[in-house]
Amino acid sequence: MSIKKIVLFIGFVFFAIYLNGQNKSILSSTDKKFPTESVFIHYNSSLLFSGETLYYKFYCLNNLSNKLSNISKVGYVELVGENRQVVFKHKIALNNGLGYGEFLLPSDILSGNYKLIGYTLWMNNNQQNKFFIADLKVINPYKKINEKTIKSDSLNTQPRVGTAAIQTKNYELKLANNVYKPREEVRFSIVSNKVLQSDVSISVHKVNNISAPSLITSYKSLNNTVSKTISQSNIVTFPEIRGNILKGTLKSDSLEVSNKKIALSIPSAGLVNIVKTNEVGTFNLNISEYHNNNDLYVQVFENNTDNYKLDIAPSFKADYKDLNFNKFEIFESEVSKILDRSILNQIDNAYLFTKTDSILVQESKLPFSTSYDLEYNLDDYNRFSEMKEVFVEIINQAQIYEVSNDNFQFAVLNQNGSYDKSIPPLLVIDGIIVKDANLLVNYNAKSIKTISIIKNKYYLGSDIFNGVIAFQTINNDFNRKVGDFVFNKFQLYDLEKIKHYKNVSYKGKLLTQNSRIPDYRKQLFWNPSIKLNHQTSNFSFFTSDNTGQYELRIEGFTEQGEPISLSKTFKVTDE
């Protein structure tokens, strides 16, 4: 049996074990079947200008149980233009099938029709409905629009964007009033006839007075039929059940590329691993946690590393050749409305700093941080510039010894005060695995903050090490000092940052404090992560100086997978 077949077989076994706890009745069949997934995206508007923000909430559903899926841990959101080129691609960390993000449309985006697409890798196995697809219309008023796209109003047969008021079974949306003044507080409630556990997202956006595609609701999205299960024999893409899967390739014109060890490090995630290539030189890395930084360090973990080349590529690329786009049109009466909207956008963006949302920063992690046996803070001792002196005078549980002329290695001492030269320790600095011990022996010890040690044997991948010696520099700058010639550094397609969305308030003194700051927001409220667990849930937000008709829309799913789609409109007027 080839290595590839063995890997596939093991993958099926582990995936089957993973799903067995959730769907025992399915896996008891001799012809094993697995639940498929589908995606719904709640997005704030189907018409956007350059300089405006697309907000979205990602819902991933298990088609067998009809509940939120815990199979895939990563979702993908893309905006695709008529030329099939991807404007943006976001990777979303999914927690029990839920994730969210946003995208600020750049100033160089072209006016036209676009597709908002959402999927998981596991959905690539679906025979139909491999993607969630929604139509978006984008207008860039700062770039000249082709006059051929401007049509007579008599030809306008497109429906007004938005939908009639919707009431969902078991839930009712109650709005205090139908008309509000600028900067007035709007109170609303979501009321249920019984206590349910539900996940929803809420958007309050101005109703577009320019022709645009209809919004897709959770009800409409789930009306699309899709097979609930897939047979094991039809699986072509594995799900990212433990996080993001990266695929790499080792290449060489003169050397063997199979069964070679590859060391991978993502310092901000505290992730280190050593994997082996298959018979054609490919290898996979699974990233199970969110991380702030997208730097990946890769090196061939062999004695002879010359004449090798490493590449990291996404494991999946969606095929959009069959997408169909409607003709992009603007009608004569809409030209002045486009100008008005672009002017208000420019004013509002000029004061954007007063309304900016905040990114929830995750602390960077260091590997082994909870399992060190010894930790030396070098500021507690007399400082030495030579690493050899540090290991003689301070580090009494490890040594540096000479292997040959000017070639050194580290060792962790055992209980008898001796060490085994046949198996070196794992060396890590600033969260990066280091193969060549001489890099650390010759490094300026005054730049080191701490040296930490794991004394017992340490297993990483299929490798065994006589302990671990982990160095942390004062400025976390080892990679910058040694240069890219030592490591292969890659910029990963990072998971989207987790954000906290602020709501503008005019309560109390804030009304007078902000009285001179223009407020022409069209997006009055956005909260993508709301859990409904009471019969009545109360919310509020404040209107802006941008008068007109607004829609309050709520989308989501109950714990049992029933769609929630609620909508009401109200008017903001200064009359």
Judge if 127 and 216 occupy the same domain. yes
pLDDT of residue 3: 45
Same domain for 37 and 116, yes or no, is yes
Mean pLDDT comparison of 17-26, 202-211, 223-232, highest-scoring range: 202-211
Residues 472, 393: contact at Cβ < 8 Å?
no
| Residue 35 DSSP code | E
- 430 belongs to a structural domain: yes
23 and 37 assigned to the same domain: no
Nearby residues of 416 by Cβ (< 8 Å), 6 or more positions away: none
Flag whether pLDDT at 22 surpasses 70.
no
In a domain, 481, yes or no: yes
> Is the pLDDT assigned to residue 441 strictly greater than 80?
yes
Question: At 391, is the pLDDT very low, low, confident or very high (cuts 50, 70, 90)?
Answer: very high
Which residue's structure tokens are 């029709």? Answer: 113
| Single-letter amino acid code for the residue at 533 | N
Asked whether residue 151 carries a pLDDT value surpassing 90, the answer given is no
Closest Cα to residue 260, out of 284, 237, 283?
283
pLDDT of residue 353: 54
Q: How confident is the prediction for the chain on average, in pLDDT?
A: 85
pLDDT at 439 over 90: yes
- DSSP bridge partners of 418: none
Q: 140 and 207 share a domain?
A: yes
pLDDT digits (tens, 9 = 90+) for 278-329: 999 999 877 765 555 568 889 899 887 778 988 887 657 788 988 999 999 9
Looking up tokens 């997934």 gives 37
Which domain, by its residues, includes 341? Answer: 31-230+318-362+499-572
Q: Are residues 23 and 113 in the same domain?
A: no
Which pLDDT belongs to residue 293? 57
Question: How large is the average pLDDT for residues 467-495?
Answer: 81
Q: Of 436, 460, 491, which residue is a domain's last? A: 491
Q: Is the pLDDT of residue 566 over 50?
A: yes
Taking a C-beta distance cutoff of 8 angstroms, is the pair 7, 37 a contact? no
Q: Are both 329 and 429 inside the same structural domain?
A: no
Q: What does the block give as tokens for 377? A: 């803070």
Q: What per-residue confidence (pLDDT) applies to 127?
A: 83
Regarding predicted confidence, which is higher, 194 or 350?
A: 194
Residues 108 and 37 reside in one and the same domain: yes
More confident residue, 377 or 144: 377
Does residue 34 sit in helix, strand or coil?
Answer: strand
pLDDT at 117: 97
Q: What's the CATH code of the domain at 52? A: 2.60.40.1930
Q: How confident is the model at residue 365 (pLDDT cuts 50, 70, 90)?
A: low
pLDDT of residue 325: 94
Q: Give 159-202 pLDDT, tens digit per residue.
A: 554 454 455 778 999 999 999 999 999 999 999 988 889 999 99
pTM for the full model?
A: 0.78
H runs (alpha helix) in 81-235 = 218-222
pLDDT bin (cut points 50, 70, 90) of residue 29 is: very low
**Radius of gyration (C-alpha) of the chain in whole angstroms:** 28
Q: State how many domains the chain has.
A: 3
Q: What is the pLDDT of residue 427?
A: 95
Q: What is the CATH number of the domain that holds 476?
A: 2.170.130.10
pLDDT tens column, 353-364? 555 555 444 444
pLDDT at position 445 over 70: yes
5-19, 195-209, 227-241, range with the lowest pLDDT: 5-19
Q: What angle do CA 320, 321, 323 make, to 5 degrees?
A: 70
Judged by DSSP in three states, 233 sits in helix
Is residue 482 in some structural domain?
Answer: yes
Q: Please list, in sequence order, all residues whose beta carbon lies within 8 angstroms of the beta carbon of residue 188, skipping any fewer than 6 positions away.
A: 173, 174, 175, 176, 538, 539, 540, 552, 568
3-state secondary structure of 438: helix
User: Is pLDDT of 2 > 50?
Assistant: no
Residue 313 lies in a domain: no
- Mean pLDDT, rounded, for 84-107: 92
Same domain, 50 and 154: yes
